[in-house]
A = this chain, B = another copy of it.
Amino acid sequence: MEEQTMVAAAFVSELRDRYGIEFKNLHLLDEAFTHSSYANEHPELGLRDNERLEFLGDAVMELTVSEWLYKRYPDWPEGELTRLRAASVCTRSFSSFAREAHFDKYIRLGKGEEQSGARKRHTLQEDTFEAFNGALYLDQGKDAVVKFLDQIVFPKIAAGEFSAASDHKTFLQEYLQKKGPVEIQYQLLDEEGPAHDRSFAVAVTVDGKRLAKGVGHSKKAAEQDAAKHALADLKHQGPSD
Question: Do B55 and A66 have beta carbons less than 8 Å apart?
Answer: yes
Chain B residue numbers with a CB within 8 Å of A62 are 59, 62-63
Task: Name the residue of chain B whose CB is nearest to the CB of A76.
Answer: B52
Min C-beta distance of A77 to chain B, whole Å: 7
Task: Name the residue of chain B whose CB is nearest to the CB of A82.
Answer: B55
Min C-beta distance of A64 to chain B, whole Å: 8
A54 CB-CB contact with B under 8 Å? yes
Binary contact readout A41-79 vs B (1 if CB under 8 angstroms, 0 otherwise): 000000000011011101110110111001000001111
**How many chain copies?**
2
Query: Measured between alpha carbons, how far is A81 from B57 in the docked complex, in Å?
Result: 13
Min C-beta distance of A185 to chain B, whole Å: 26
A27 CB-CB contact with B under 8 Å? no
Binary contact readout A154-182 vs B (1 if CB under 8 angstroms, 0 otherwise): 00000000000000000000000000000
Question: Do A54 and B78 have beta carbons less than 8 Å apart?
Answer: yes
Query: Measured between alpha carbons, how far is A121 from B207 in the docked complex, in Å?
Result: 49
A119 CB-CB contact with B under 8 Å? no
Once A56-B70, A70-B56, A142-B142 are accepted as A-B contacts, the answer to whether A51 and B77 lie under 8 Å apart by CB is yes
Question: Do B63 and A59 have beta carbons less than 8 Å apart?
Answer: yes
Query: Measured between alpha carbons, how far is A77 from B50 in the docked complex, in Å?
Result: 10
Question: Do B51 and A78 have beta carbons less than 8 Å apart?
Answer: yes
Question: Do A52 and B66 have beta carbons less than 8 Å apart?
Answer: no
Min C-beta distance of A140 to chain B, whole Å: 14
Partner of A66, one of B56, B66, B142: B56
Query: Measured between alpha carbons, how far is A66 from B171 in the docked complex, in Å?
Result: 33
Binary contact readout A117-158 vs B (1 if CB under 8 angstroms, 0 otherwise): 000000000000000000000000010000000000000000
Chain B residue numbers with a CB within 8 Å of A76 are 52
4 closest A-B pairs by CB = A51-B78, A59-B66, A63-B63, A59-B63
Between-chain CB contacts (< 8 Å), 30 pairs:
A51-B77, A51-B78, A51-B79, A52-B70, A52-B76, A52-B77, A52-B78, A52-B81, A54-B78, A55-B66, A55-B70, A55-B78, A55-B81, A55-B82, A55-B85, A56-B66, A56-B67, A56-B70, A58-B66, A59-B59, A59-B62, A59-B63, A59-B65, A59-B66, A59-B67, A60-B63, A62-B62, A62-B63, A63-B63, A142-B142
